[in-house]
Amino acid sequence: MMFWHGHYGVSAWGWLAMSVSMILLFALLILIVVLIVRALSRPGPLHDGHTDPRGSPGPGPGPEQILAERYARGEIDEEEYHRRLTTLRGPPPWTRGRRRDQP
């Protein structure tokens, strides 16, 4: 009985802090569930079957297909087509000019 006298419990600030923390906790849990559902429902390379040369999903035609279409329409000539195709299939630009034994 000695705890009942002179102690009024949690103050208004305590109730406010508990209420705000509970709302934030539920908001965080809902956000996590929404992000998981969105990540699992997102189409990827296994769903649509189309990937670009780097392996990431591509929404449209790849760069080689665009280049072939431009050549077929006559926008570029054969020499430029082969030059650009070689550039696309070659090593990345940041590794050009380096020897293979260099890091």
Structure tokens at 56: 């990431």
Q: What is the DSSP letter of 75?
A: S
In the chain, the amino acid numbered 69 is: E
Residue with tokens 């070659």: 90
pLDDT digits (tens, 9 = 90+) for 23-46: 999 999 999 999 999 989 887 655
Q: Given a cut of 50, is residue 8 above it in pLDDT?
A: yes
Contacts 24+ apart (CB under 8 A), 86-91: 88/53, 88/63, 88/64, 89/64
Please enumerate in sequence order all residues whose Cβ is within 8 A of that of 65, keeping only pairs 6 or more positions apart, or say none.
Answer: none
pLDDT, position 48: 47
Q: Is the pTM of this model over 0.85?
A: no
